[in-house]
Amino acid sequence: MKKCTRCLNDSTVRRMSYDENGVCSYCRSYDTISSKLSDKARLEELFCERIENVRGKYDYDAALGISGGKDSVFVLHELINRYNLKVKTFTLLNGFFSDAARANVDRLVKEFGVEHEYIEIDSALLKRFYRYSMKHWLTPCVACSYLGYAAMINYTTRINAGLCIHGRSPQQMLRYYGDDVFTSLIDAGLKSVSEIDISALYKELLSSIESRMDGNLLSDVKSMLYDGIEQSDFREFVSYFLYHDYDEQSIVEFLRRNTGWKTDENYDHYDCRVHNAAHYIYQCAEGRPHCLPEISVLVRSGKISKSDGIRLIESERYLHKPYEEIELLCDTVELKPTPILLKAAIYNRFIKK
């Protein structure tokens, strides 16, 4: 199996090429912005420009989606206490939201004294969307991501907030930089506000995602997400951790020490009741843990060594099938587990790159 000579990506990562030195295309794409990502003073300036551009001009300075996870809770703390913003929070009920996460959300929005809203989506539409996602991409995560992005962007306009801020980690944002829909958001985020056409940017972004969907399903989803929203009135979708340092363990320790955030040791993705099922099926299809491209970001950016990265990847490998979560996922979308796992195995053996 061919492997990148610089990071840990290998030929299981789709749509990736190598140069004459064996460096993968994602490393080369990262190099085009690495100097900007390391210019801390400029990044702080860009973030402050964005918040000062909207401060006090809307009903809320920012809308923030929170899942009860460490990243979104930490961002909420920083927006309120470090930047003194008026924030309204919301949580998308995607059908798989855990009780433990909901308890954290309820406790923390009260602790921080912020307004909060749960956004419910019609269960029949959710089921259709997840079923489509499972049948076409063997994962519910594509449908969930689209719903999350679209709901955040449109919710921000609906409540009249100046910015939509999110807490995706750098490795989540940069894992496919140069070849995914998030690329345009990163590029825009590294520019001054005056250089960006927000409306054009988000129409292109959502159009790119929507081009992969069935027409009838797309019509229903858009009708729900854009209900009452003027589609030309977008607010910028801002990544907090594009501009600020990210250290997972430090964030966890800070929250446990300074807030009412409560989880056990399995805090990563505890908010999703089918996370393990989705990633197990992905592993069956791709032949490796889902986190490989994310860990590769840490390696290419010098955050960790290759040997540490390999250990992290192996620690994420599923050695046992998460039966209960697979049953829950498949029952929800009304698909049988055996054909899904068989399709994943066939994809791995005969179809994938």
Tell which CATH classification among 1.20.950, 3.40.50, 3.30.530, 3.60.40 matches the domain 40-243.
Answer: 3.40.50
Place of tokens 């099938």: 321
Closest CA to 168 of 235, 245, 236, 239: 239
pLDDT at 168 over 90: yes
CA distances in angstroms from 169 to 69, 241, 319, 320, listed in the order given? 12, 6, 26, 27
Residue 17 is predicted with a pLDDT of 94
DSSP-based three-state secondary structure for 56: coil
pLDDT digits (tens, 9 = 90+) for 221-255: 777 666 666 666 789 999 999 999 999 999 999 99
Q: What is the C-alpha to C-alpha distance for residues 267 and 245, in angstroms, rounded to an integer?
A: 20
Q: Which residues of 305-322 are buried (b: 16+ CB within 10 A; e: fewer)?
A: eeeebeebbeebebeeeb
pLDDT digits (tens, 9 = 90+) for 70-105: 999 999 999 999 999 999 999 999 999 999 999 999
pLDDT-wise least confident of 22-26, 250-254, 264-268: 264-268
pTM, entire model: 0.93
pLDDT digits (tens, 9 = 90+) for 169-216: 999 999 999 998 889 999 999 999 999 998 888 878 777 777 777 777
Question: Residue 257: how many CB atoms within 10 A of its CB?
Answer: 8
One-letter identity of residue 189: G
**Domain definitions of the chain by residue range:** 40-243, 274-351
CB within 8 A of 199, min separation 6: which ones?
Answer: 232, 233, 234
Closest CA to 91 of 272, 263, 279, 217: 272
